[in-house]
Structure formats: structure tokens, C-alpha cells
Amino acid sequence: MRGLYTCLYWGLVLFYGSCSSKKDDQVSLETHNNDSIIVGDIVEIEKDTISGLEKGLIYAGLVDVKSELPEVFVDLKYSTTDNFFGEDVYGPLTNCYLQKETVEKLKVSLAYLRVHYPELTFLIYDGVRPRSVQQILWDNLDKPDSIKPLYVANPQKGSLHNYGVAIDLTLANKDTGEALDLGTNYDFFGYPAYPDREAEMLAAGKISKDHIKRREILRTAMRMGGFTGIGSEWWHFNAFSLKEAKSKFEIVP
């Protein structure tokens, strides 16, 4: 597994180091006294505290969400075995990274919660996802290829997660970080997790009115920030369309 993270990091470094477009949006990464790295002119991070994968994300100009929004909680499910295929593919990565524009939109969504539901905050499950990790998820999803795209984007086409403009998250208690019950676990593959099937699942007793109410709070907050959801996952939101993402950003390989 260590080899995977090393490959991810150097792939990112080589890719972004050779890009001639969008250079104005990239963040400089340099060593400092052999013990730390400088991100732009602002943040100094001890080298030993971050993984190769995280260094690559910083080099690509992505933003650590919690550094901008300290009120949110982060529990990257793919840095644990608590995910749909039971493997850790992020290793020691614990920080969620997104494009700066995506973080700015999330600030608006969080501001909405602060005003209307001050007892709540966000609990983030996933942000940017390198395409190489997307391939692992695609390969391990036990579904026919014809319906896999309902749950995991085809890595050959690219996912909005791969551009750092999609986020998976839920609502949580602001004081404890405990997730609210929204009817299913994260990465639940079935109709009870579908926003498009909520009325049907309510009638069948698979989810409750309280689950739908909490999902509506989450959806409203995210819409206020300019995010859009999808029909098969209540936790997934996009900051841009795929066409916009391709025009604005580079894919994280």
C-alpha cells in the first residue's frame, strides 16, 4: 500500500509540475530549513506530519477545508476500513482537500446553518479523490458495469471528486461532531439512500419523516452555497458541472 501513496504523490508532482495552463491558480510548494514546507506565503507545515498523498494535494493548489472552516468535522471514510469495500485507500490522510472555489461555496452553506440551525455543523466524509483511487473504488464495487455509474463515476471519464469540486457530507452536532441519523449509512447502495425515492421509501417504512426533514436541511444549506445534489446519494453534492470543472481545473491523477 505504501507504494500506492508514493506513486500518487510523484504522479501529482510530475503532472502539475509539467502543466502550462492554470499556473496562476497553483500554490507554490518549497522546503524550508529541511523540516517543513511552505504553502504559498502563508502556511508552514512540518514535513513529517503529512503523507506523500497530502503533499501532492497541497502542491496541486487544493485547500484543507478545516483550515478555512474550523467548525466542521472531518472523518474521511476512505482513510479507514469503514467504507463499502472495507479497505483504507488514503492511508494516513485525515484532512479533506477541495478546490478553493468549492471551499468558498461551502462557507456560504455553513453560514446558512449558523443562522438557521446553530446547533448543527457539517461532518465531511470525502472531498477530492485522485483518479487512481477512483479506479480502486470502481474495481471493487460489486455491481454490474451498467449500473456502477449510479454509485461510482467511471474513472476513465473522470469524477467531480477527481477535480476537487464534489463533497460527501452529512449534518452533525456542532459540539460533539456526532452525525445525525439521515436514514442510511454513508455509501449505502439502495433506494433508501436515494433522494429521488424518498416518498416511496417513506411509504414503505424504510425511512422516516424525520430522516427526510434532516435531509432537506442538508440540501437547503448546500443549495444556498450553490451546490447541487444527485438522485442516488443523499450525502453527495457538486459545486460545478463536469463541463465547468474541466474548463476550470486539472484532474487529480
Q: How far is it, in rounded angstroms, from Cα 118 to Cα 108?
A: 14
pLDDT band at residue 245, thresholds of 50, 70 and 90?
very high
Q: How far is it, in rounded angstroms, from Cα 130 to Cα 234?
A: 22
Q: How far is it, in rounded angstroms, from Cα 140 to Cα 86?
A: 10
- Encode pLDDT of 19-64 as tens digits: 433 434 444 344 334 444 444 333 444 444 577 889 999 999 999 9
Domain 64-248 class, CATH top level? alpha beta
Tell me the domain boundaries of the chain. Answer: 64-248
State the pLDDT at residue 175: 97
- Encode pLDDT of 64-79 as tens digits: 999 999 999 999 999 9
- Encode pLDDT of 114-157 as tens digits: 999 999 999 999 999 998 888 888 888 888 888 888 778 888 88
State the pLDDT at residue 40: 39
Cβ atoms within 10 Å, residue 42: 8
pLDDT band at residue 215, thresholds of 50, 70 and 90?
very high
Helix (H, G, I), strand (E, B) or coil at 46: strand
CA atoms within 13 A on the CB side of 179: 16
CA atoms within 13 A on the CB side of 12: 27
Q: Mean pLDDT across the stretch 221-242?
A: 97
Q: How far is it, in rounded angstroms, from Cα 126 to Cα 226?
A: 18
